[in-house]
Structure 1
Amino acid sequence: MKNNSTKIIAFLLIAILICACNAVKRVPDGKNLLVKNNILVNGKSTNDEVAANQMYQKPNGKLLGYKLRLNLYNLANLNPDSTYQAKFKNNPGKYERMSKIFSAKQVDRLGQSFYYKGIHEFLKNTGEPPVIIDTAKTKKSLLRLKYYYFNNGFFNVQTGYTIDTVGKKRAAINYNITTGPAYKLDTISTNITTPALDSLYKTSNEPSLLKSGNQYKTTDFEEEKNRITTYFRNHGAYYFQPTYVTFDIDTIGKKNQANVRLNISNNIIQGRDSSRTEPFKLYTISDVNIYTDYSAANAKKKPTDSTTYNNFNLYSYKTLKYKPRAITDAIFITKGSTFADFRTTLSSRYLNNLKIFNYPSIQYEVDKRDSTAQSLIANVYLTPRKKYSFGATFDVTHSNIQDFGIGASISETIRNVFNRAETLEISARLNIGSSRDMANPNNNFFNVSEYGLDMKLNFPRILFPFGTEKIIPKSMIPYTSITSGFSKQRNIGLDKENFTGGISYNWTPKRHNTAKLELLNAQFVRNLNPDNYFNVYTSSYDDLNNIGKDYNVNPANWGDTTEQQQNKNLTIPKGTAGFTNDVLTGGTTLTPGNSQYQEVSSIEERRIRLTENDFILATSYSFTKTTKKDLADNNFYQFRTKIESAGTLLSAVSAIGNLPKNSRGNYEIFNLEYSEYIKTEFDYIKLWDFGKEKVLAVRSFFGIAIPFGNSNYIPFSRSYYGGGSNDNRAWQPYALGPGSTNAVNDFNEANMKIAASLEYRFKVFGDVKGALFADAGNIWNVLDNVTDPKAKFDNLNDLEEIALGTGFGLRYDLSFFVIRLDLGFKTYNPAHDKGERWFKEYNFGHSVLNFGINYPF
């Protein structure tokens, strides 16, 4: 096997060497392949990414230092049709013989097959032609570089280039830049012709981006121009545009310094045959007209219904279907206020967020009733969406539970339910799937199923007994959601019913910040088939059964038949329940000091926890902040935190009401012990864009849930797990931890989690991207009823149990989503003994292939 591996590696190395030597295969004689652009600034090489992007020609791309796409292109036959025809031109008899065997038409079609043509088209399209040095493009690049350094304050920059041959038909271009000293800003003065704008500028609290002593940068002047324009337009200057802002740069008699004068001219008014100038006016809003059912068809008609509410004029071409406040609450442009762009933007965002109108149109016109011509009428045109809309989805799924699944859902959205811009969403879903790991006595292919019904009612305001405007103003675009749902599933063998309901408040404190307060979040989980527990959690059964073979004293626990008695396997559920009860009540030779006794106790504690019905009544607050501007932004950070408290309200009511406790000393509601805990999470993501589609991404996560009062453990639905395509990719979901326990259970979970990931993303070719990643983390039990010391987090020394997985991946970018494949290798496995944890399973046999949609973080 080693010899074969050596031969394969040797073959690959020889193939790569041959391809590398053949990189100039398609470079014409007398021409050179561009291998490198060297930018030398004052004699020293620079890695300035922006300067490098000025190049008209860049060397062929590399994958891990290898020009893969160039060599793929060189392998292609650029004229496969001519090659195929030449094959018969040199041997006419061959064409006749093949035509007799097949047909002339089939022989001609053979030339269009993948073998003769398709493979070469693929290589040509996937590959990349050689970048041959073009001196005309080199001169254009040099001119771009000159402008780039000039725009950064090097007014005396000198440029030149040389081409150095570095091999056969290979050359590098040296761009030589002599910058000279950079110019800095000296005195800054203003010349603003319109007195009103001059007064606004002088009273502004916003700092200027142009400061004496700063190095000259053209971008600073452009940003200052935009800042001034935004400021003026937010303070009444409706007709002001960036073109009215100019700068005079004076370097005469100055040594490496420049005086700056800011010029703002008067408003230019174009007439039919001439133009004139006049001072800018600052406008106020004289009227706000809202057309609630506008469309192109009725644009020239007159509204038939109207009303006035809080100085807003509402019009409708049919009967007005909205309560006025529902619309006016979304409008931040008010009568008597100063014209401001930000009010227009905020109104558009709020109206769009109502989800009952198409994107709104807000237009202004000068009010002809004002003799001073300094008033504007704001016209808000709203086009309603359909009151009822139907949706349906169908998808094929794969998860840690389902090997194969088919899902479908239908939904109905009803808008403006109570005539105050509310939306009601009702949806139903059905999923059926197949799982080899589930208990399946009838051997049915579709042995996993789930169906559910959900309802969500959204109100575009905060529903509360008293006003919240001072705490959460409407500029934060608040809304209230009331939700309820029911689902029934047969997926992990316990057959659960899940009832949910709640009320939450959502708002945006700032443009890229979001906040959510779940005032009440209720969940009731009912296990329909708890007796099937050991058929599902087979690892727990195997451990219990092995102990039972040695210590069971009640033959009835093995069953009634002779064969069962001989096999000595505990029956499910009667035998497992009987043996566990015998052990914990002293009916066997095992005592609390025995490790087997402790293991049986641990198995029973987990069984109770996972089969008991759960009732959770929680309140939570979450906050997210991000600097991400759009989907293409690869240089941002995101921070999310959440704190959740469950059961505290119920315990307070129970204590005040002096309600009785059950035999275990806990309160109950509807004859069910409710969960009580506090949970908090912190999640931080940071991306750095290095250019050329190279991105470094980092994620860190910490979460902990601590039971208290009415509970000594965390419900399964609120616990943490490790592994999976969005976590530690070297482990399957639920297969990591807790601690150093070697994942002894089928679905391992705990109440504390630490995780961190590092991923380097790069372009391979076309829309195919690659990634190298490292994932670290684990889960532990802390301050709950788990007694296994290997699973518990006791002190900082337990951080040695953080697992490390490394690997690589491929991603295909479809613009609207990314298909992802990641291969993870167990690099450091804390489940092994100390000294045996590093690289013991670092091979393909123990690797994990993950399939995912979009990036893991």
Structure 2
Amino acid sequence: MNFKLQQLLRYTTLILLLLYLAACSIVKNYPINKPFVFENRIELYGKVSKDEKKRLKNELSNYWDDSLQARYISEIKLSFKQPIISKVLKNPPVFDSTNISRTIRYMNAYLNSQGFYYAQFADSVPRFDTVKNQIRATIIMKINLGKNITIDSVRYHLLDTAIHPVDSSLQKMALAASGKTLLKKGTPYTKQVISNELDRLALLFRDSGYYKISKDDFYAEIDTTNTQLLQLAFDPLTQAKLIEEANKARYENPKWNVEIKQHQFKDSSKLTQYYIHHIYYYPELKITDQPDSVLLQKNLKQFNYKHLTMVYQDGKFIYKPLIEHTYLKYNQPYSESKYYKSINDLGHLPAWQQVDGKVVPYGTDSLDLYFFLTPALKQSYSVNLEGSRNTGDITIGNLFGIATNFTYTNRNLWKRAIQSLTSLRLGTELNIGQAQNPGVTGTPLLQTFQVSLSHTYNFPKLIIPRVIDSKFFRSADNKRTLLSVAGSYTDRRDYYQLRSLTTSWGYEFSKNARKSNAVTSVSFKPLNVELYKIDTLPGLDTLFKNNPFLRNSFRDGNVAGSAISAIRTFNSPRDPSKSHFIRLGIEESGTLTSLLNIYTDRIFKYIKTEGEYRYLKKYHKTELATRFFIGAAFPKAGQNIPVYKQYFLGGPNSMRAWSLRELGLGSSILVDTISNTNYKERFGDMALEANIEYRFPLFTFSAFKLSSALFTDMGNVWSLTPNPSDPNSVFALQRLGKDLAIGVGTGLRFDFSYFLLRLDFGYKLKDPARQYNDGWAELNKLTWTENRGNAVVNNYAIQFGIGLPF
């Protein structure tokens, strides 16, 4: 009973402390003995979804008259006279009831644009509260939205001439593409959707050669008439009944008819279909050159190929990459989408830093296209100093310490806009923040040394057989073919030395969704070969004696297989402040070699799958970010997953209360109980992690911003291979609650605009390896360290990182 009472008192104290940290509002510089605007809020009524009501509230909050705005700021102050974090209202405006009617007009106009034409505003009588010499006015805007207008029917009435409307080409095109209309029967009517439909039609015509047509040439005519009122009734009572029924239907289920029409063209050339006549490229334009002036220069050289002309001076480029990224051809109808896609794709080539275009009419029905390209610096060298990184693969530079990259880039190899990238990476991992083992002496400061050299060719197109080339690939954006070769050497002091040589051939491209803002990026490696040689040292041999199953992960072998991953990013259609990130990936090794029955004893055989989801909600000044990750590697043919393909958690970007690679496996404590070793790294076949982080600003000084965050990390890594000597390290669904680790913490973000430094402090709220209280930390016994087996283990971690964790 006393224990429960103590627990209750501790939690009550914690709640009171939180209330003190962020509590009441403070008013400064207010008008004395005069009513001032202290608070304003909106109450919406009507049959709309919860999300729609929330969206409308957020948007309507922008339509308060300035004199009715209560603008609060967050203030941090270390004082016992006020909470540490307070909401402060400075210089509130004097309340004036005449400003309410102006706010109603603003809000009603916005609701009209969203299709709420029958919204009703209740009398907004302010509420006054007197606090000492403050007269606080709270204005509540009560709005009954009524029914949203829906679209009943859609028609197109587009004429080439007033004499032959039946032969209208525009009318035929609009009807043929009516299935893609944004005006669907039964959908809400808004001014924005009408505007978007006019944009769609204008683009449809401009993509079909009608170069001079614009959105302003069309308009929408709205018919709000109820057909019941058109029925003639000689009986006045019947007529009155019809009017009453029409009015009732108008409020209960209002529907409008939409007809898209065109203004009468004063310029007959708007109805002319234009075709491509000639294409000119200027690939050596200087950043200071003006395109119109360059066109007048006579001393430039020319290369002509069919109906294409490349105008140059030094001959730095050949024409092929220009043609390959131009989607308009001779004698084709002009297409605005293809024109801008050409500019966009040429601009994504590393060989040029800027691309502009110009369309010039030629004759009565033709167009000449001009592309002006400013070259980027052909060769560059860079040296980067990095902090800790955590990507889930120890062979690509996940070092808790310092890593330096020396990079050489050539952006125009062989004059074909091919980019080559050569990178030398040196990294060290220091024995800082490691759990100290009293039984081990002479632990070196330098824990890991790594050196790697890589070379990549980036071809600005998809080099694929013609037989599989299709419209799907031709319409993709940012197409690249990558050929990579890399070698690395990792020396984990006293434990192992790992050598690797890898090569791959792969493709990357992206696709933009037409009906949404979603972008899908795909990376596919049909050929991925990795050769590994690992030498075990005495420290690792000692671990093998205590855990024989560990030996299977540290053995020589090779990887021969393929990999594919896809990333999809998009914003919520109804709320652009919500962004989503989805990543799916799969990697396999050994399938092809097994089918061909070659090198079967030297190739690792496995399938590795991953999934990740991120969600970001942006508020006025703050952000809420969440992330979920799951990954699993499944060995085939009775093998084990090699350590360089396994997962680990901990470090600055995942499970921040744990040092790098020091979480797991499951609730096993085997690693902690092994004596005579400081090797505490854990790798698993499966990883599960969830993170949530609330980010908020502290202050801004010029271009420098200091912000903070509160975060919670939850997850662990497990083995998927049965291990009778250590069953707690193997994933089991019934033990998931016990195995999950939970860390909480806060941190500082030093944002210098061009880069961001991050310092996070995490505490182990729940540690599966903790042998009491089911792994939970006790509020009355919070300790920084604890004895575990033969080691002293930290219950916290301080992480330094570059950039946001996710």
State the alpha-carbon separation in 2 of the partners of residues 18 and 775 from structure 1: 23
Q: Distance in 1 between matches of 2:358 and 2:320?
A: 21
Offset of 1:764 from its aligned partner? 6.3
Distance across 2 between alignment mates of 1:71 and 1:265:
66
Does structure 1 residue 621 correspond to structure 2 residue 564? yes
8 Å CA contact 1:522–1:616 kept in 2: the answer is: yes
Say if 2:207 is the partner of 1:234.
Answer: yes
- Cross-structure match for 1:274: none
> Structure 1 residues 133, 380: closer, same or farther in 2, change over 3 A?
same
1:684 counterpart = 2:613:
yes
RMSD: 4.5
- 1:770-785, aligned counterparts within 5 Å? 771-783=709-721
Mapping 1:436-585, distance limit 5 Å: 436=432, 448-464=448-464, 468-470=468-470, 473-477=473-477, 478-493=479-494, 494-510=496-512, 512-527=519-534, 530-533=537-540
Q: How does 1:754-765 map to 2 (within 5 A)?
A: 754-761=688-695
Contact 2:31–2:94, Cα closer than 8 Å, also in 1: no
- 2:352 is paired with a residue whose SS is coil
1:699 aligns with 2:608: no
Q: Identify if the C-alpha distance between structure 1 residues 15 and 697 changes in structure 2 by more than 3 Å, giving closer, same or farther.
A: closer
Instruction: Decide which moves more: 390-399 or 357-366.
Output: 390-399
Larger RCO (CA within 8 A; separation ≥ 6): 2
Change in 2 beyond 3 A, CA 1:713/1:313: same
Distance (whole Å) between structure 2 residues aligned to residue 740 and residue 379 of structure 1: 66
CA contact (8 A) 2:666 2:740 kept: no
1:171 aligns to 2:137 (yes or no): yes
The equivalent of 1:792 in structure 2 is 730
Structure 1 residues 53 and 732, CA gap change in structure 2 (3 angstroms): farther
Closer, same or farther: CA 791–17 of 1 in aligned 2, 3 Å: closer
Counterpart Cα distance in 2 of 1:443 and 1:480: 46
Is the contact made by 2:409 and 2:419 (CA closer than 8 Å) also made in structure 1? yes
1:626 Cα shift? Answer: 2.1
Distance change >3 Å, CA 11–CA 339, structure 1 → 2: closer
Give the deviation of 1:455 after TM superposition: 1.0
Match of 1:354 among 349, 352, 374: 349
Deviations along 1:399-443, one digit per CA (max 9) or x if unpaired, are 899998444333222233233321111222333564345999988
The amino acid of 1:738's aligned partner reads L
Greater Cα offset, 226-235 or 393-402: 393-402
Contact 2:41/2:141, CA 8 A, preserved across alignment: yes
SS at match of 2:30: coil
Match of 2:236 in 1: none
- The alpha carbon displacement at 1:333 in A equals 0.9
Is the CA contact 1:302–1:317 (under 8 Å) kept in the aligned structure 2? no
Matches for 1:705-724 after TM superposition, within 5 Å? 705-709=633-637, 712-724=639-651
Find the partner of 2:746 among 794, 809, 816. 809
| Separation in 2, partners of 1:509, 1:398 | 29
Alpha-carbon distance, 1:773 to partner: 4.2
The Cα of 1:233 is off from its aligned counterpart by: 2.0
| Alpha-carbon offset, residue 779 of structure 1 | 1.9
The residue matched to 1:636 in structure 2 has which SS?
strand
Aligned mate of 1:204, from 159, 177, 181: 177
CA 1:677/1:214 → structure 2, altered by over 3 Å: closer, same or farther?
closer
1:358 alignment partner, SS class:
strand
Structure 1 residues 466 and 227, CA gap change in structure 2 (3 angstroms): closer
Matching of residues 269-348 of structure 1 within 5 Å: 279-295=270-286, 296=289, 298-302=294-298, 304-309=300-305, 311-318=306-313, 320-348=315-343
8 Å Cα contact 2:388-2:800 kept in structure 1: no
Which residue number in structure 1 is paired with residue 379 of structure 2?
388
CA shift in 2, pair 1:636/1:488, >3 Å: same
**Structure 2 Cα separation of the partners of residues 480 and 346 of structure 1:** 19
- Does the Cα contact within 8 Å between 2:46 and 2:147 map onto a contact in 1? no
1:806 to partner: Cα distance? 4.8
Is residue 420 from structure 1 mapped to residue 416 from structure 2 by the alignment? yes
Write out per-residue CA displacement over residues 806-828 of structure 1, whole angstroms, 9 at most, x where no aligned residue: 53434545555555454444444
Q: Which amino acid aligns with 1:408?
A: T
1:15-94 residue pairs with structure 2 within 5 A?
23-32=26-35, 34-41=37-44, 48-55=57-64, 56=66, 58-61=69-72, 68=75
Q: Shift of the alpha carbon at 1:645? A: 1.6
How far residue 32 of structure 1 moved from its aligned partner, in angstroms, is 4.3
Indicate if the aligned counterparts of 1:292 and 1:314 stay in contact, CA closer than 8 A.
Answer: no
Matched, 1:162 2:125: yes
1:628 touches 1:638 (CA, 8 Å); kept in 2? no
Asked if structure 2 preserves the Cα contact closer than 8 Å seen for 1:829 and 1:838, the reply is yes
More divergent stretch after superposition (802-811 vs 509-518): 802-811
Deviation at 1:856, TM superposition (A): 3.1
Superposition deviation, residue 723 in structure 1: 3.0
Answer whether contact 1:809 1:820 (CA < 8 A) is retained: no
Q: How far is the alpha carbon of 1:646 from its aligned partner?
A: 1.7
CA distance in 1, matches of 2:15, 2:711: 25
CA contact (8 A) 2:387 2:800 kept: no
Give the CA deviation at 1:741: 0.2
Residues 831 and 634 (structure 1 numbering): CA distance in 2 closer, same or farther, change over 3 Å? farther
The CA distance in 1 between the partners of 2:116 and 2:332, in whole Å, is 46
Alpha-carbon distance change, 265 to 743 in structure 1, aligned in 2, over 3 angstroms: farther
**Matches of 1:32 and 1:765, distance apart in 2:** 31
1:502 is displaced (CA, Å) by 1.9
Equivalent of residue 603 in structure 1, options 547, 550, 556: 547
Q: Determine the C-alpha separation between the residues in 1 that align with 2:20 and 2:583.
A: 49
Q: Distance in 1 between matches of 2:416 and 2:339?
A: 21
Alpha-carbon distance between aligned partners in 2 of 1:832 and 1:394, rounded to the nearest angstrom: 37
**Structure number, greater radius of gyration:** 1
Residues 388 and 801 in structure 2, CA contact (< 8 A), matched pair in contact too: no
Task: Flag the 1:384–1:786 CA change in 2: closer, same or farther, 3 A.
Answer: farther
Q: CA deviation at 1:490?
A: 3.7
- C-alpha change, 1:129 and 1:258, in structure 2 (3 Å) is same
Deviations 1:304-353 (A, max 9, x none): 443444x4413232354444333211110111222112112221232123
Does the aligned pair in 1 maintain the 2:511–2:521 contact within 8 Å?
Answer: yes
C-alpha distance in 2 between matches for 1:834 and 1:404: 30
What is the CA distance between 1:230 and its match in structure 2? 2.2
The amino acid that maps onto 1:174 is I
Which residue of the partner structure matches residue 667 of structure 2?
Answer: 740
Q: Distance in 1 between matches of 2:585 and 2:45?
A: 52
2:277–2:307 Cα contact (<8 Å) kept:
no
Quick check: 2:504–2:528 contact (8 Å CA) kept in 1? yes
Count of aligned residue pairs for this structure pair: 711
State the distance in 2 between where 1:608 and 1:700 align: 30
Name the SS of the counterpart of 2:174 in structure 1: helix
Q: Contact 1:61/1:69 (CA < 8 Å) preserved in 2?
A: no
Structure 1 stretches lacking a partner, 5+ long? 76-122, 270-276, 535-539, 542-599, 660-665, 668-672
Deviation per CA, 1:181-238, whole angstroms, max 9, x where unpaired? 5544455444434333223212214433334544432222222222222222222222
CA distance in 2, matches of 1:608, 1:820: 37
| CA deviation after TM superposition for structure 1 residue 718, in Å | 0.5
1:150 is matched with 112
Q: Report the more deviating stretch, 840-849 or 227-236.
A: 840-849
In the other structure, the counterpart of 1:129 is 90
